[in-house]
Amino acid sequence: MAKKILVLSGKGGVGKSTVCACLADGLKDNSKSVLLVDADVGFRSLDLIMRVGDSVVYNWLDVISGNCEAAAAPVIKENEVALLSAPPAFSDEITAESFGELLGKYDIDYDYILIDAPAGSGELHKILAGSVDMLLLVVTPDPICVRSAEVAIDRALEVKPSLETAMIINRFNKLEVMAGRQMKLDDVIDGTHTRLLGVIPESDSIRLIPSGEEPTKYAASAFERTAKRLLGESVKFRIKDFY
Ligand SMILES: Nc1ncnc2c1ncn2[C@@H]1O[C@H](COP(=O)(O)OP(=O)(O)OP(=O)(O)O)[C@@H](O)[C@H]1O
Ligand SMILES: [Mg+2]
């Protein structure tokens, strides 16, 4: 059975979709099969980040509605990570029950299903949270983002209080922290009350992924180490990078 993880943030534009794509690559490099589900209904982006936009024919609402077979909908990037694209608009057919059934169709084919949530925290988030095993917060080290992340995770936990939770701090920049322009990691952890899974640096190589850039070795290794922690391995944080 796949482990199903909802990636959420509260505030928008913090890097959820980018983190989903790169974390999927990190899991794949550890021999895990991954299905990415773009749940940003109306504003899909993962197909562009994964550079498979031209190959998308169906979206996951097509599977729910019976317009296509479950096996026909995912687009496979270089025969590795699979992507289910987001529908262009919300529909009454998207319910907690139908979304759970949708994920159930892919359960045995994948080790991990990562669901890329839209920004905010509304009805769709409740639907998504009802079908997952874990909530993965993505935050940037700034107070506005941290406050919204705390609200988003608390609301998702109202749906299912027993959910495992973890957090990735994205766009970390030690120089900005030293200059007092970014929050310290400890303060981010205190603000969200959520276990730290990984720290991803601010990097032009990550920002330019949709244009065909590959993450630098340093950036890619941050995702690899985060993926290993997700797999339960004990990977130490490189404290010297942070203080
Ligand atoms: N670690 C990083 N370093 C530099 N740029 C980054 C990093 N992570 C994400 N970005 C950039 O930040 C922008 C927003 O990223 P992304 O679309 O992944 O965020 P999001 O949280 O999914 O947004 P939305 O809430 O709109 O869905 C993009 O331009 C992306 O390339
Ligand atoms: Mg996104």
- What architecture (CATH level 2) is domain 3-232? 3-Layer(aba) Sandwich (3.40)
Q: Is 192 exposed, middle or buried (0-12, 13-18, 19+ CB in 10 A)?
A: buried
Tell me if 3 sits within 8 A of 24, measured CB to CB.
Answer: no
Q: Is 46 exposed, middle or buried (0-12, 13-18, 19+ CB in 10 A)?
A: buried
Q: Which residue's C-alpha comes closest to atom 10 of ligand 1? A: 207
**Dist. CA 40 → ligand 1 center (Å):** 14
pLDDT for residue 243: 80
Domain locations along the chain: 3-232
Residues near ligand 1 (Cβ within 6 A): 9, 12-18, 40, 45, 119, 170-171, 200, 202-203, 206-207
pLDDT for residue 206: 97
Tell me if 196 sits within 8 A of 183, measured CB to CB.
Answer: no
**Dist. CA 67 → ligand 1 center (Å):** 32
Hey, CA dihedral for 24, 164, 1, 61, is it positive or negative?
negative
**Dist. CA 53 → ligand 2 center (Å):** 15
Q: Is the pTM of this model over 0.85?
A: yes
CA distances to 41, 131, 152 from 91, in Å: 10, 18, 23
Ligand nearest to the CA of 18: 1
Ligand nearest to the CA of 10: 1
The mean pLDDT values, 10 residues at a time, for the chain of 243 residues are 97 98 96 97 97 96 98 90 98 98 98 98 97 98 96 96 97 95 95 96 97 95 97 93 82
